Each structure stands twice: as C-alpha cells, then as structure tokens.
Structure 1
Amino acid sequence: MNVEKILAIAGKPGLFELKLQTRSGFLAESLLDGKKITVGLRSNVSLLSEISMYTYSEEKPLVEIMRAIAIKENEGPTAVSHKDDNAKLIAYFQEILPDYDEDRVYASDIKKVLNWYNILQAKGMVSKEEPKVENAEAIKEEVVEEVKAEKAAKPKTKK
C-alpha cells in the first residue's frame, strides 16, 4: 500500500493525491471525483503516511491500520459503512485494533478511517502487503523545503 502522496485536506471531503508543487501551494487530484484543485500553503493538509492513532502502548501508523482492515476484508470494502451507528463502528474497529485508546480515539476518527479505507480500496490502493513508508519522510522534507524556499523568494513589503 503506497499512501506517500495521499493527502487529507481539512474542510474538503475525501482524499487527494498530490500531483505537483506550485508557486502558491500545490495541485491535488480528488480520489472521489478526479477533480483537480489547488491548495494554498496555509491550508491544513496531512499526509496519510504521517497520521497515527493512539493505542494503549504506542501510536499506530494509519498505514498499518489500513493493512489490518485489508487483511480482515481480504482487500475488499469494509463490512460496515462509515455511516453506521457508533456502537457498530466501535465494535468493528475493536476487531481491527483491539488495543486502541478509547479515550483518545473518537467515533468520528473511526468513521474517517473507514471512509478513507473504502476510498483507497475503490481505487485499488489497499494491500495486505507490508506498508512501505520509508520515503514518506523524504517527501515531507521535500515539501517543507519547497515551502521554505517559496516564502524566502517572496519579496517583503513594508507597510
């Protein structure tokens, strides 16, 4: 499962694939409808490869949780919908990640994970194979460096 260029953008439904860096941010393509959008540098954006969920022992990377769902569902869609009632979602998620921290992982987080999994599954991006996230840090550093270069290149105006 390669989610190194998959983004979650605050305020936007679904997931996006990072296409290219622009002067004022970057270009992303929706995995839901294929529409391309530009995202500014001030938007709250998260790489899926950088997201983790709390367990009682450690933080579990989202990629590993997605892999556990893929194993349980044999790489098919989830047995429950993200629109089901909270009790059903929590019971399903306890099968996937039995030691998740119930005080810090909310039903809304579980809904989001299941929705994201189903989006990725529909695009054929889920796998039972070991996750490959070794390049995620390099991608993150590259994006951060480009943002810093962009900010440094902007002329400062005096008021």
Structure 2
Amino acid sequence: MELLNEVAHISGKPGLFKVLKPTRTGVIVETLDAAKQKSVVGGQTRISVLKDISLYLADHQDSTLPLADLFLQIHAKFNGVLPLEPKKAADAELFAIIADVVPNYDSDRVFASDIKKILSWYLILFTHVPELFPAKAAKAPKAEKVETAEKEPKAAKKTAAKKATK
C-alpha cells in the first residue's frame, strides 16, 4: 500500500487527491475522480497524507491501526460493496460497520464523522485506484492444468500408437 504515500486529503475540500509534485509555494494535486482536475494547494492549507492516518484502538492508549491495514480489512469484508451509503447513513449504522470490521476500535475517540470519511475514502480508492487492493485468486486455472495433464498422456499414447503401426 505504498501508493497511499501519494494520496492525500485536503482540509476543507471533499474527496481525495493525488499529490503530483511540490512547487515553491505548495504542491500540485490532482483529484481522484473522473475529472482529474489539477490544482495548486498553498503551503498554509492542511494536507493529510493517507499513509500517516490511523484508527484508534482500545487495546492501549497509543495503540492504532494504520489506514492501509484498515482499508484491507474493509476490502476483505465487503469487497468494494458497502451495505450502506456512508454520507447518508445513521451514526448507529456507521458504528456497527466499523465494529464489524475492527471490533476493538476505541469508541471514545473514533467519531461517526471519522467513519464516514474512512468509508467514503475506501469507496473512492476502490473505484479509482483498484491496484491498491488484492484481486481474489480464481480456482479455474488450477482445474485447467489438471485437464491438460490428463490430455498429455493420451496424446503421447496416440503418437506411440502411430509409430507402432508404421
């Protein structure tokens, strides 16, 4: 999940942005959506790189779960299809979803607005940066190998039979 070093949230702006390169007065960013709009963000603007964000856990005072690991857990549970829309969901539904994914999250320090952001970011990343998430392994190629292995001896028998008749 090293790609999260290039993805950031800009305070006061919706969505996520890909950090392209620094300038003398700030950074050039590109929106992570179909529009791919580029803009310059000034140095006074608060930019949070997703790699540096984590979720509080109740295990210990300093215990946290990095956002990359949280996204992988959400992906393993829901595979890109959340049972609700984060922006329209009730707080109780949001807390139920996060408790289902991370049962030991710190309910005192994690707010519904945080969960909304995390789930919205997950959907954006799943849609526009799918290479962040592992693809499910298909079992069909293994079955094909078994079939071809069975066909090879038959083909060898046919060639042996042709040589014997000649």
TM-score, with structure 1 as normaliser: 0.76
Assess if the C-alpha contact under 8 Å between 1:71 and 1:128 holds in 2.
no
Measure the CA separation in 1 of the matches of 2:19 and 2:84.
28
Are 1:28 and 2:33 matched, yes or no?
no
Q: 1:127 aligns with which of 128, 133, 140?
A: 133
Partner-residue secondary structure (3-state), 1:12: coil
- Name the residue aligned to 1:47: 49
Structure number with higher relative contact order (C-alpha < 8 Å, ≥ 6 residues apart) = 1
Alignment root-mean-square deviation, CA: 1.4
Partner-residue secondary structure (3-state), 1:3: helix
Residues 134-145 of structure 1 mapped to structure 2, 5 A cutoff: none
TM-score, with structure 2 as normaliser: 0.73
Partner-residue secondary structure (3-state), 1:78: coil
- Name the residue aligned to 1:79: 83
Assess if the C-alpha contact under 8 Å between 1:117 and 1:126 holds in 2.
no
Residue 111 of structure 1 deviates from its aligned partner by: 0.3
Residue 8 of structure 1 deviates from its aligned partner by: 0.5
Provide runs of 4+ in structure 1 moved above 4 Å.
Answer: none
Partner-residue secondary structure (3-state), 2:48: strand
| Count of residue pairs brought into register by the alignment | 128
Q: 1:95 to 1:126 in 2, by over 3 A?
A: farther
Structure 1's unaligned 5+ residue stretches are 130-159
Residue 77 of structure 1 deviates from its aligned partner by: 3.0
Structure 2's unaligned 5+ residue stretches are 136-166
Residue 128 of structure 1 deviates from its aligned partner by: 4.0
Percent sequence identity over aligned pairs:
38
Select the structure that is richer in helix. 2
Question: Greater CA radius of gyration, 1 or 2?
Answer: 2
- Name the residue aligned to 1:102: 107
Q: 1:69-124: per-residue Cα shift (whole Å, max 9, x none)?
A: 111123x2322211211111111110111100000000000000000000001112
Measure the CA separation in 2 of the matches of 1:112 and 1:125.
20
